């Protein structure tokens, strides 16, 4: 299962549909705190977390850091509507970044990059 955290309903729906087309289940949250609580209880069933970097209640970097404390081996993808390369360098997050808008091929590539670190 993929956990998607984004404050834009259309983005949540779009990513969910892309994943469904690829026979992958997802759960969408528009609130980082609720998503973190869900992850605490269900981290073993989550293969990848997709986090929008700009969230109203807690930014994606803070959310990523908390999730990484819960599970140091977490596999994440960070999404942003801003320049992804600049954001990645600025935030120092060791995860693939996806520039919005993105398509299914970009999403598949990011999931592959995120999960290939499995040892």
- pLDDT tens by residue, 2-18: 999 999 999 999 999 99
Q: How many domains does the chain have?
A: 1
Over residues 41-55, the mean pLDDT reads: 94
What percent of the chain lies above the pLDDT cut of 90? 68
Rg, Å, the chain Cα set:
13
Please report, for the domain that includes residue 7, its CATH number.
3.40.50.2300
Q: What are phi and psi of 26, to 5 degrees?
A: -145, 160
Over residues 65-73, the mean pLDDT reads: 95
CB 57 within 8 A of CB 32: yes
Residue 119 or residue 108, greater confidence: 108
* Confidence check: pLDDT of 102 > 80: yes
Over residues 21-44, the mean pLDDT reads: 94
Residue 90 or residue 29, greater confidence: 29
Print the domain residue range for 33.
Answer: 2-115
User: Does this model's pTM top 0.85?
Assistant: yes
Tell me how far apart the alpha carbons of residues 72 and 109 are, in angstroms, rounded to a whole number.
Answer: 22
């Amino acid at each position: 299962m993929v956990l998607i955290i984004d404050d834009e309903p259309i983005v949540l729906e779009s990513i969910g549909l892309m994943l469904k087309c690829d026979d992958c289940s997802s759960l969408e949250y528009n609130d980082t705190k609720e998503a973190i609580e869900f992850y605490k209880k269900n981290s073993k069933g989550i293969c990848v977390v997709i986090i929008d970097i700009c969230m109203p209640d807690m930014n994606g970097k803070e959310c990523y850091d908390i999730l990484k404390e819960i599970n140091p081996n977490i596999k994440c993808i960070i999404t942003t509507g801003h320049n992804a390369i600049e954001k990645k360098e600025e935030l120092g997050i060791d995860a693939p970044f996806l520039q919005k808008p993105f398509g299914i091929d970009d999403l598949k590539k990011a999931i592959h990059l995120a999960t290939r670190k499995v040892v």
